[in-house]
């Protein structure tokens, strides 16, 4: 019994030794001549300007998350459609319930106005946002 664990332990030791050897070899053989150009931040071939601590609008993240949620959920439709005839009516009813839940989610997000990129009603508007008026939800 302990022989099986010994084999696993031996493989872990060999893996760790190979990992450390590869890292040390890379450190010894790699050239290291730092210069201003090498130490600059690389931004897709463009010169970096400003700080990296830029605050993005939260709507960007909300719309991205909503897209990812619905995109991943719709991916479940493809395998189901491939084997639809073999699954029968029960699978059709289950997928119908799934699609109805997705539609309810979309209607909820739409009614909450989270799909609008520009929101005209700002609850606690200050400055230039104080006098914005738009449609009532």
The yes-or-no verdict on residue 85 having pLDDT over 50 is yes
Domain residues for the domain of 84 are: 58-120
Task: With beta carbons less than 8 A apart as the criterion, state whether 91 and 81 touch.
Answer: no
The DSSP secondary-structure symbol of 41 reads: P
Residue 29 lies in a domain: no
- How many structural domains compose the chain? 1
Q: Look at residues 116, 107, 104, 125 and name the one whose alpha carbon lies nearest to residue 62.
A: 116
* 2 within domain boundaries: no
Q: Is residue 72 part of a domain?
A: yes
Please say whether the beta carbons of 136 and 119 come within 8 A: no
- pTM flag (> 0.75): no
Assess if residue 66 is contained within a domain: yes
Mean pLDDT across 77-104: 88
CATH of the domain at 104: 1.20.58.1610
Q: Concatenated DSSP letters for 97-121?
A: HHHHHHHHHHHHHHHTTTT-SS-S-
Q: Which residues, in sequence order, are CB contacts of 128 under 8 Å at separation 6+?
A: none
pLDDT for residue 62 is more than 70: yes
Residue 34 has pLDDT above 60, yes or no: yes
- 118 or 132, greater pLDDT: 118
């Amino acid at each position: 019994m302990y022989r099986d664990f010994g084999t696993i332990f031996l493989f872990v030791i060999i893996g760790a030794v190979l990992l450390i050897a590869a890292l040390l070899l890379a450190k010894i053989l790699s050239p290291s001549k730092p210069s201003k150009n090498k130490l600059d931040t690389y931004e897709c071939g463009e010169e970096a300007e400003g700080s990296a601590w830029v605050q993005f609008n939260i709507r960007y993240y909300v719309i991205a998350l909503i897209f990812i949620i619905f995109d991943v959920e719709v991916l479940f439709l493809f395998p189901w459609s491939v084997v639809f005839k073999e699954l029968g009516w029960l699978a059709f009813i289950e997928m119908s319930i799934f699609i109805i839940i997705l539609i309810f989610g979309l209607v909820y997000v739409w009614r909450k106005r989270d799909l609008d990129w520009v929101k005209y009603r700002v609850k606690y508007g200050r400055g230039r946002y104080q006098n914005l008026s738009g449609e009532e939800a």
